[in-house]
Amino acid sequence: MTNPVQQAIENRISAHRYVDGPLLDDARILALVEQATRAPSAYNMQNWRFIAVRSQDAKARLQAVAYGQQKVLDAAVAFIVCGTLAAHRQLATALQPSVEAGTLSQRTADAWVAQAIQAHEGDVQLQRDEALRSASLAAMTLMLAAQGEQLGSCAMVGFDALALHQAFGLAPHEVPVLLVTVGYPTADQLPQKPRKPVHEVLEIL
């Protein structure tokens, strides 16, 4: 007996082709991204932003900077998952709801902010690492959310980051980390690809 989380993990595949299906309306897109934002991030920075590319025009613009990958056009929606740099500067704002909800004391929030500023200010590499970590976790959560909705998905790094940055007017502090296409997979999908044996990649101490 597998539990629902196992099922989602084991049944997810990288969809290689999509067919047309019902429009994913704003409410469904919002629900998917709401799930994605439940991903963890350092200090709960939530240093991410999502662009849901759904219109034909915007998809064509995205396809042009994604090496012509057909999936971008055929998916119901293609998400540009961005990580944000210098997230420590907006950490106090990001933590405010936790303070208001009583799940984080003001004192702890202030300490986290001070710690994050000390570690991140001036360390461009760390800011970028953090942006990549957060956006990647959010992208994976987004794919599992799609799986839960019986939708297919595919993470894609096949895009020209600079061209995408310009084509979609990203802010200087935004890094396009991944595209996640979501849609209705064709019936001829391959099963999830085999993985290396766990013993090759696991060390238990």
Ligand X SMILES: Cc1cc2nc3c(=O)[nH]c(=O)nc-3n(C[C@H](O)[C@H](O)[C@H](O)COP(=O)(O)O)c2cc1C
For ligand X, the binding residues (CB under 6 A) are: 13-14, 154-158, 178, 192-193
3-state secondary structure of 73: helix
CB 180 within 8 A of CB 14: no
Least distance to ligand X, CB of residue 183, Å: 13
DSSP annotation of 14: B
- Closest to ligand X by CB, 95 vs 183, is 183
Q: Closest distance between ligand X and the C-beta of residue 108, in Å? A: 34
C-beta of 30 vs 157, nearer to ligand X: 157
CA atoms within 13 A on the CB side of 101: 7
CB of 149 to ligand X, least distance (A): 17
Which pair of structure tokens corresponds to residue 187? 């019936």
Select the residue whose beta carbon is closest to ligand X and give its number.
158
- Minimum Å gap between C-beta 103 and ligand X is 32
Burial of 30 (0-12, 13-18, 19+ CB in 10 A): exposed
Helix, strand and coil content of the chain, in percent to the nearest 5, comes to 50, 15, 35
Query: Among residues 15 and 24, whose Cβ is nearest to ligand X?
Result: 15
| Residue with smaller CB distance to ligand X, 69 or 88 | 69
